[in-house]
Structure 1
Amino acid sequence: MTLSRVVVVGASAAGLTAAETLRREGFAGELTVIGDEHRLPYDRPPLSKQVLSGNWEPERVALRRREALDALGARWLLGRRAMALDVAARTVTLADGDAAPYDGLVIATGVTARRLPYGHRLRGVHVLRGLDEALALRAALGDGPSLVIVGAGFLGAEVAAVARGLGCRVTLVDPLPAPMVRQLGSAVAERVAELHRANGVDLRCGTSVAGLTERDGAVTGVRLGDGTHLPADLVLVAIGSVPAVDWLRDSGLPLGDGVLCDEFCSVAPGIVAAGDVASWTHPAYGRMRVEHRMNATEQGVAAARTLLGERVPFAPVPYFWTDQYDVKIQAYGRTGQDAGFRVVTGSSDQGPFAGVYGDGERITGAVTWNLPRAARELRPLVAQRAPWPAPVA
């Protein structure tokens, strides 16, 4: 199929990279980028760290200068939400009723913050997904209030570290036994827990949230499942995210945990997906959906090339990182509590260390704690599924 009109739905990292790749690979037709925010594409990882702490001003998170975006020759429809997709007619319908016709479509709508079934109407209750939400939370943290964070994954743990640096009283609540245990497994997660305790965070792991308390329309605290009441001036709900696929419900496209793609990021003829919203079949790891910045960029490239006719499976070595206090944690491959874990450098009890995850026969993932060089050295072992290492003497 010859493409003359391509529509990219999603104006963040994956969508922008897809648009740039299309132009770089020779697509000279009509290019339209639709984004539900009024802002030009910006980077999200700094929102919970540099922006929230006040070390960066909002302008610094821009992914490209305006002149670079203008050079794409794209039509930017910002502040315009996609509401429906007609696959047969090849049109995307916007909330204002306008329609964007296409020959090729890139779905890169990302995710939205998961919310509690109650309490979000209250003053002082926040979520953090976009820049406006980060700035609102930054303003609220300025007076050093008491903050209860519901959810101890990446976002909750990073915000806890920033808020403690700003002088806030922080309580971190999660039903799981330690922060980030799903992503890092129990041994490394316990080290994360110790890091937060050492920095004055009140950890309430292994307990659920039963509700919020309020007075005059403002949140006053969090009720736990064990009956404990945690007073709070602010509450951040950081309980994960939901793939932004509601606009696709009647499209007939395969949906599950995101938009279901094949190994080439293809959803249907002339339609590809990339970034946080895309669930694809990884040749080594099976079906997966990755909510990390590097994946968004790499998959944006891969999806655009598939749209242009290439047939190369998207098979990255997944990578993520998190910065908390003076610690940088970096990880490659498949990690977490369902894998075996072995330290290969240092000790997981104290100081910098590196470790690998696997099935006892092959390495499937790796993690480092303040050892960036070791992270680079372990990456090829993950990519090659190297043999499981012998115990350190």
Structure 2
Amino acid sequence: MNNSARVIILGAGHAGGTLASVLRERGHTGPITLIGDEPYPPYNRPPLSKAYIQGKTELGALLLKTPDYYQEQQIDLLTGVTASAIDRAGQQLILTDGRKLAYDKLVIATGARPRELPIDGIHLDNVLALRTARDAEQLRARFADHGGHAVLIGGGYIGLELAASAISMGLSVTVIEREPHLLARVASEPLSRFFQQQHEQRGVRFVLASQALELIGTDRVEAIRLSNGDTLACDLVLVGAGVVANTELAAEAGLTCDNGIMVNLHGQTNDPDIYAIGDVSARPLPLYGHRIARVESVPNAMEQARLAAAHMLGQEQPKPEVQWFWSDQYEFKLQIAGMAFECDQTLIRGEPASGKFTVLRLRQGVLQAAECINSPVDFMGAKQLIASQQPLDPARLTDLSCKLKDALPVTA
């Protein structure tokens, strides 16, 4: 595209906010409009379930850029605004207030929303989910004012982070998980066992292999009925049952969607003038045979922003990155490198009882993913090994006298 091209970014989360900044930093001088449905500038979401809810930080400290930045960089930031349609033929974005904004390139970065459980009572008061700063404000107020018993539906990372925050703020906590172990979709069994033990030692109760069937109450939730036959009294229910990509606008415009807006490595949809990045997109993963996946992480959002910016500006594409993720629970920092697709071997480096160890997951001898607890050196080494895509010696991988980065085979 030329330097005067009009770029509209729909979605002012981490992906959209990063893209607007990167386009300016890399020399685009044309109009950039950044549109967000929240009343705030782009901010960092991961701390919402931890430091923000616990009152250890405020929203201002989470902003990606200062409020003045957007005016200084001539980025037109529209907050509290949503779109109702995309006119592809006329290359216009139609807002819900009736305004029509012309674009040369449109980027959809609308993210995802919490999955709503199809059960009775889900709309009772004190039934909450966490996705936005406003959600987090409500949760912080409930945690601080109500105390009592909180039930969390879903034993994924968000559910466990919220459990850690709630228990630290004096609530009693029960986590309901439909699978027989925690983190079933995203983690190894050793890591699942480790976190379950750590939470149980601090008073969190788990009900596994059971689902919520009904929330009971008159105005506010008072109890939850489970598929195992139990009914638990509660004062607060937090729903962490995954998210749904916000693809409706794209699908109505005829863009290809399948659990996300389908894009190529550059972030382009089936319309070459429309891109999609961040949690809303389903993208190819070059290190995994270009498998298509929707990746929910800040690093992925930032990588896709850089890839899309480079492609729009006609600049050299960055090298594909190893996907990575993190979670903070109590004094434990979990850093995950890679993605564990079709792994056939699991190795443990170190001793879980020490609170510092790494779970390595391999496929045909090639490292696919590493789950590192309080092991930043292992995490950095694992990223190098995953990027290499070379077969490795299991004995060297588990030898603590050998740094992970040194486990690559020596080539002549």
Give the CA deviation at 1:264.
Answer: 1.8
Q: 2:158 aligns with which of 139, 151, 155?
A: 155
Q: Is 1:227–2:232 an aligned residue pair?
A: no
Q: Contact 1:272 / 1:307 at 8 angstroms: preserved in 2?
A: no
Cα distance, 1:337–1:191 mapped onto 2, change above 3 Å? farther
Letter in 1 for 2:226: L
Local SS of the residue matching 1:51 = coil
Cα distance, 1:271–1:311 mapped onto 2, change above 3 Å? farther
Aligned equivalents of 2:62, 2:336: Cα separation in 1:
23
Equivalence for 2:171: 168
Aligned equivalents of 2:316, 2:276: Cα separation in 1:
15
Aligned equivalents of 2:46, 2:341: Cα separation in 1:
21
Give the CA deviation at 1:313.
Answer: 7.2
Give the CA deviation at 1:177.
Answer: 1.8
Equivalence for 2:358: 354
Give the CA deviation at 1:211.
Answer: 1.0
Q: How does 1:1-393 map to 2 (within 5 A)?
A: 1-2=1-2, 4-118=5-119, 119-142=121-144, 143-215=146-218, 217-267=219-269, 268-285=271-288, 286-310=291-315, 312=317, 315-335=320-340, 340-344=345-349, 346-391=350-395, 392=398
Give the CA deviation at 1:64.
Answer: 0.9
Letter in 2 for 1:221: A
Aligned equivalents of 1:339, 1:200: Cα separation in 2:
34
Give the CA deviation at 1:87.
Answer: 1.2
Residue by residue over 1:129-155, the C-alpha shift from the partner in whole angstroms, topping out at 9 and shown as x without a partner, is 000110101100113221000001111
Aligned equivalents of 2:61, 2:8: Cα separation in 1:
27
Cα distance, 1:13–1:115 mapped onto 2, change above 3 Å? same
Letter in 2 for 1:213: I
Give the CA deviation at 1:386.
Answer: 3.3
Give the CA deviation at 1:338.
Answer: 5.2
Q: Contact 2:332 / 2:355 at 8 angstroms: preserved in 1?
A: no
Letter in 2 for 1:147: A
Cα distance, 1:139–1:180 mapped onto 2, change above 3 Å? same
Letter in 2 for 1:283: P
Q: Structure with the greater relative contact order (CA < 8 A, sep ≥ 6): 1 or 2?
A: 1
Listed as ranges, the gaps of 5+ residues in structure 2 are 400-412
Q: Out of 176-185 and 223-232, give the one that drifted further.
A: 176-185
Aligned equivalents of 2:238, 2:68: Cα separation in 1:
36
Aligned equivalents of 1:314, 1:247: Cα separation in 2:
31
Q: Contact 2:149 / 2:172 at 8 angstroms: preserved in 1?
A: yes
Give the CA deviation at 1:322.
Answer: 0.3
TM-score by length of 1: 0.95
Letter in 2 for 1:271: I
Residue by residue over 1:79-106, the C-alpha shift from the partner in whole angstroms, topping out at 9 and shown as x without a partner, is 1111211111111111111111100111
Identity in percent: 33
Aligned equivalents of 1:75, 1:170: Cα separation in 2:
44
Letter in 2 for 1:270: D
Local SS of the residue matching 1:43 = coil
Aligned equivalents of 2:180, 2:318: Cα separation in 1:
37
Local SS of the residue matching 2:113 = strand
Local SS of the residue matching 2:38 = coil
Listed as ranges, the gaps of 5+ residues in structure 1 are none
Letter in 2 for 1:366: A
Give the CA deviation at 1:194.
Answer: 0.9
Give the CA deviation at 1:314.
Answer: 6.5
Local SS of the residue matching 1:367 = strand
Aligned length: 391
Q: Contact 1:353 / 1:370 at 8 angstroms: preserved in 2?
A: yes
Q: Contact 1:185 / 1:338 at 8 angstroms: preserved in 2?
A: no
Residue by residue over 1:343-374, the C-alpha shift from the partner in whole angstroms, topping out at 9 and shown as x without a partner, is 12x12354310121111321111111111122
Q: Contact 2:336 / 2:379 at 8 angstroms: preserved in 1?
A: yes
Q: Contact 1:151 / 1:173 at 8 angstroms: preserved in 2?
A: yes
Cα distance, 1:314–1:378 mapped onto 2, change above 3 Å? closer
Local SS of the residue matching 2:44 = coil
Q: CA RMSD in A?
A: 1.7
Give the CA deviation at 1:383.
Answer: 1.1
Q: Contact 1:146 / 1:233 at 8 angstroms: preserved in 2?
A: yes
Q: Which has a greater percent of strand?
A: 1
Local SS of the residue matching 2:185 = helix
Residue by residue over 1:217-269, the C-alpha shift from the partner in whole angstroms, topping out at 9 and shown as x without a partner, is 11011111011011110000000101111122221111111110012211121
Local SS of the residue matching 1:137 = helix
Q: Contact 1:181 / 1:336 at 8 angstroms: preserved in 2?
A: no
Q: Contact 1:266 / 1:306 at 8 angstroms: preserved in 2?
A: no
